[in-house]
Amino acid sequence: MIKSNDPIVLKVVVGSFPVPKTELKADLYGISGSPGIAEGIARVVLNDTDLAELKSGEILVAPSTYPSWTPVFPLLSGVVVDRGASLSHAAIVGREYGIPVVMNVFDGSKRIRTGQRIRVDGDMGVVYFID
């Protein structure tokens, strides 16, 4: 647990809270971790063992990502994480691979189902449910 109220530490570790842009009519509001737009099938991953189920082109949906997950990023077309900041694993690796990342959606891993088609808009920091 972080025991610092230093705003720089909080910005790096926790990130910022999303400010819903209701005019976008998105299903989930977050913040941008990496720019770009991707549409595809969601795969909810809650632990390391679920990574084996990922298929090429899917959108990873998770509470967070970890350095041990880096090898699956080349398979992904997008990432949605419940928590994250500009220096979090998902944001850094997403930018390196040019994968759109939306972070701080808070309950994305609960609201999105594996197999659901979604659109990740890393430019605006939002997620749309296509079906």
Q: Tokens for 55, please give them.
A: 């298929």
**Nearest residue to 75 (alpha-carbon basis) of 91, 39, 95, 99:** 99
Give the integer Cα–Cα distance in Å for 122 and 52.
25
In sequence order, the β-bridge partners of residue 79 are 60, 101
Identified catalytic residue from 89, 108, 118, 120: 89
Give the integer Cα–Cα distance in Å for 31 and 80.
10
The reply to whether 89 belongs to the active site is yes
Residues belonging to the active site: 89
